[in-house]
Structure 1
Amino acid sequence: MVWEILGIIGTIAFAVSGALVALEEDYDLFGVLVLGFVTAFGGGIIRNVLIGVPVPMLWEQETLITIALASILLVFVTPAEWLRKGKKWYIIFDAVGLSAFAIQGAMMADAKSLPLIAVVAAAVLTGIGGGVIRDVLAGRKPLVFRQEIYALWAVLAGVVIHSDIISGGWAMYGLFAATLILRLVSLIYHWRLPHRFVKI
């Protein structure tokens, strides 16, 4: 049940964020559908390749595909004024998608008894993969490569799941909430990772 709920949450969140970016870039309906779709499922495809899950399994997720397409179309027909007023929600949708998919990816890798590095990699790639693809296709600098703390929260989620510190459905929901809160707090207070600019 936790797996399915996190999948639904992450799919909706990233499908919406992809559609919002496509609208900002003035894409047509097809472009909005494509960008929303790859944002919702891109990270999962990368994860499946990493941990040896057949990629065609994506097409067996008919319910998630339907939910993603419905979410994208809903964004497309939403009045522009509503979208402008709710622009700040883009960051929240992205944070929700990161948190849900990072935990889901870590759970999937951990269930296959993979080592810590693989669980963390699955968490990170599932959590940020769709967003990176979205930003690259939209011609934007991916969030994960900016100064702000982004992928670190996916790393921590993977470490927690692999360590078996928590178990059970409610504990996973608690981890999801904690990951989401940390991501939002890092945005509010402008937490940054060290960086260095060298003009060459």
Structure 2
Amino acid sequence: MTWDVLTIIGTVAFAISGAIVAMEEEYDILGVYILGIVTAFGGGAIRNLFIGVPVSALWEQGMLFQIALLSITAVFLFPNNLLKHWNRWGNFFDAIGLSAFAIQGALYASDMNHPMSAIIVAAVLTGSGGGMIRDLLAGRKPLILRAEEIYAVWAIICGIAIGLDIVSSPVELYILFVLATSLRVLSYIYKWRLPNRSLKARA
């Protein structure tokens, strides 16, 4: 049940996120649907490749595709004055998708008895893979690669928590989801940064 709920939450959140980015880039209706679907399912496809699950398993998720299409349609029909708040709502939905899919990906790898390294990779790829593809198709620098963003760290934390069995019950998984989402939201509100080193000459 927890798995299914997190999958639905992540699918809706990333489908909305992809659709909003597409409209911000002024894509036509077909582009909006394509970017929304790719964002919602891209991370799962990449994860499956890395942990040995046939990519064709994605096509068995008929209900999730319908949910994603309905979510994209709802966003496309939203009033423009609500969609102008991308910086607030787009990042919020992206944070929800990141957390939900990171936990779902980690659970997926854990149930297949993969080692800790694979669980962490599955969490990161599932949580951020769709967003990476979305940003690349939209001609943007992926969030996961930006020095001014803490993004994949929260997915890594989810993978470690699940890989070490720190969280396992449904209640604990939901708490982890809320915690990871909150940390991601706080990180972009307060502009938290990881240490970085630039090779550009300072003026």
| TM norm. shorter chain > 0.5 | yes
Structure 1 vs Structure 2 CA RMSD:
1.1
Letter of the aligned partner of 1:146 in structure 2?
Answer: R
Partners of 1:42 and 1:78 lie apart in 2 by 24
Alignment of 1:35-50 (within 5 A): 35-50=35-50
User: Are the counterparts in 1 of residues 43 and 129 from structure 2 also a CA contact under 8 Å?
Assistant: yes
Partners of 1:92 and 1:115 lie apart in 2 by 31
Cα distance, 1:199 vs structure 2: 3.2
Q: Does 1:69 align with 2:80?
A: no
Residue 170 of structure 1: aligned partner: 171
Partners of 2:166 and 2:57 lie apart in 1 by 30
Residue 56 of structure 1: aligned partner: 56
Q: Does 1:15 align with 2:11?
A: no
Identity %: 57
User: Are the counterparts in 1 of residues 20 and 86 from structure 2 also a CA contact under 8 Å?
Assistant: no
Partners of 1:31 and 1:85 lie apart in 2 by 20
Residue 158 of structure 2: aligned partner: 157
Letter of the aligned partner of 1:70 in structure 2?
Answer: L
Alignment of 1:1-200 (within 5 A): 1-85=1-85, 87-147=87-147, 148-199=149-200
Partners of 1:98 and 1:89 lie apart in 2 by 14
Partners of 2:176 and 2:71 lie apart in 1 by 25
May I ask how many residue pairs the two structures share in their alignment?
A: 200
Letter of the aligned partner of 1:43 in structure 2?
Answer: G
Cα distance, 1:104 vs structure 2: 0.2
Partners of 1:66 and 1:93 lie apart in 2 by 19
Cα distance, 1:87 vs structure 2: 4.8
Q: Given the two structures, how large is their TM-score scaled by the length of structure 2?
A: 0.96
Deviations 1:74-133 (A, max 9, x none): 111112112114651000000000000000000000011111110000000000000000
Letter of the aligned partner of 2:31 in structure 1?
Answer: G
Partners of 1:184 and 1:35 lie apart in 2 by 23
Partners of 1:167 and 1:71 lie apart in 2 by 30
For structure 2, the residue ranges without an aligned partner over 5 or more in a row are: none
Q: Given the two structures, how large is their TM-score scaled by the length of structure 1?
A: 0.97
Deviations 1:37-62 (A, max 9, x none): 00000000001111111111111101
For structure 1, the residue ranges without an aligned partner over 5 or more in a row are: none
Partners of 2:126 and 2:61 lie apart in 1 by 16
Partners of 2:97 and 2:195 lie apart in 1 by 25
Letter of the aligned partner of 1:84 in structure 2?
Answer: K
